[in-house]
Amino acid sequence: MKRSIKSLSRAYQDQTLGDDEIKDLDQILATDSEAREVFMRETNLIAALEDVAVDESAKEIGFFDRPTDSHEKQRLSKPFWTKMAFGAMIAASIVILLVATVFFSRQAEDRFIATIVGLSGPLQWTGDGGQVRADLDVGMKLSGGTIDGLTHDSWFALVFRDGSKVVISGNSMLAFSDAGQKKLHLKLGTLSADVEPQPEGFPMLIHTPTAVVEVVGTSFEIDTDLESTALNVSKGKVQVMRLSDGNSVEVPSQHQVVAAADQDLSVNHIPQVAYTWRSRLEQGPRRTYGKWIPGSNSVMPRLHCIAHTVKDTGLTIYAVSTQVTAADAAAVMTNPRSRVHVQGRLDRESDLFVGMTLRTRKGEFAGRFQVRLPAKQLGTIGDLDLILPINDFKLDPSLKSMKHQLPDLAHNLVVESLWCHTLYQQAGLSITSLELSEREE
């Protein structure tokens, strides 16, 4: 016979539930709001009884020595002096905690190597000892570790103690440390950096799956995946060593190089910026986020959305995205005539969000701009073929707190990625093409 929610709740608090009963309880709580109310009421009862028990114990071990007879003890369930003693205990413990905080924070200060100066979207930091945190905040000091940008709209900026700044965006993974020499491991994604002059003999080293980048002090951007590392240097110079053969080149200001086993390690001028770009899903899923489905004679290759639940809010986003900063191309920029062309499919009625993640030419995060297309406006479900002028793109409301630091318009900025998503429900979003083009004059 199944136990009642009350019985399960009490047994849970008494820690006498078996594995199967825990699963039962979990399932009931996940689906039944009345059961959750009973659970919370029962838990609250236990919590209050525990408090009373602690108060009573405090009395017995002499936190106050006011004599009481049994009658008075019965009458006063929570004597004034007990409250005072309890309060004093808490106050003492808080004071100790705060003093300890100040003391340890000075020691800990030495361990911190970098401070978060900007962030947006789902991120996860894995620090010393495997500590995992998703509740990151601007101003938080970090003692090294790994930052994961979990979705296309993730963005993270870090400043080291010497003022060197590193920014990652999109689906990225960066491990960083500084024990006298800054060592970064960019396993995936895009990184831009503005590096202060480093101590002689201790350049900043950035390891990627295909190269090691040595930086003395400069501004640059790296885009990496398993097969290649593209480096654009905007200021200063950077040494790059290709791992496949150990060959090195020096990349001066306004030059770029791609380090990949199957390409020449040649240094080229950063070409003029481009204002048009198109995804090429027929070439595979490189630098995309989504489930790539190859095409056939009759069907175009497409990118199906992937669900991601944001832990902070419980919000589930069904998204596809593609990076626009291709390894062997110039920066792709917007201008007032830009427009985004989306082709794909939506199988169920849903609001659709189309957006772009932008940065300045210096590599600074410039925001996410998006268009929300209400289900009614999209009309009948099925094939999507949308052309959206740049002026329709507005700053993502979740960046409201940074509004004053970001451009008002999506013009004249470098496009880092283009993306589409639906919220709350799986609406069967898939994309066959994303394109940035210019309207004719």
Contacting residues toward another protein, per CB under 8 A:
10, 12-15, 17, 19, 22, 25-26, 29-30, 33, 36-37, 39-54, 56-57, 70, 74-75, 77-78, 87, 90-91, 94-95, 97-98, 101, 132-135, 137, 311, 314
Instruction: Please tell me whether residue 384 adopts helix, strand or coil conformation.
Output: strand
Q: Beta strand 182-194 with 204-207: parallel, antiparallel or unpaired?
A: parallel
Q: Minimum distance between the CB of residue 145 and another protein, rounded to whole angstroms?
A: 15
Q: What angle do CA 160, 356, 133 make, to 5 degrees?
A: 40
Q: Minimum distance between the CB of residue 20 and another protein, rounded to whole angstroms?
A: 10
CB nearer another protein, residue 54 or residue 261: 54
DSSP assignment letter at 328:
T
If residue 85 lies in a helix (H) or strand (E), which one and from where to where? Answer: helix 80-111
154 within 8 A of 120, measured Cβ to Cβ: yes
Q: Could you tell me how far CA 261 lies from the centroid of its own chain?
A: 30
Q: What angle do CA 190, 192, 196 make, to 5 degrees?
A: 150
CB nearer another protein, residue 51 or residue 328: 51
Q: Minimum distance between the CB of residue 184 and another protein, rounded to whole angstroms?
A: 26
Q: Minimum distance between the CB of residue 84 and another protein, rounded to whole angstroms?
A: 12
CB nearer another protein, residue 83 or residue 291: 83
DSSP assignment letter at 121:
S
225 within 8 A of 246, measured Cβ to Cβ: no
Q: Minimum distance between the CB of residue 118 and another protein, rounded to whole angstroms?
A: 15
**Which residues, in sequence order, are bridge partners of residue 368?**
357
Q: Minimum distance between the CB of residue 97 and another protein, rounded to whole angstroms?
A: 5
Length reported for the chain:
441
CB nearer another protein, residue 27 or residue 377: 27
CB nearer another protein, residue 41 or residue 403: 41
CB nearer another protein, residue 50 or residue 128: 50
Q: Minimum distance between the CB of residue 134 and another protein, rounded to whole angstroms?
A: 8
Instruction: Please tell me whether residue 209 adopts helix, strand or coil conformation.
Output: coil
Q: Could you tell me how far CA 409 lies from the centroid of its own chain?
A: 24
CA distance 201 to 212: 16
For residue 57, count CB atoms less than 10 angstroms from its CB and return exposed for 0-12, middle for 13-18, buried for 19 or more.
exposed
CB nearer another protein, residue 58 or residue 409: 58
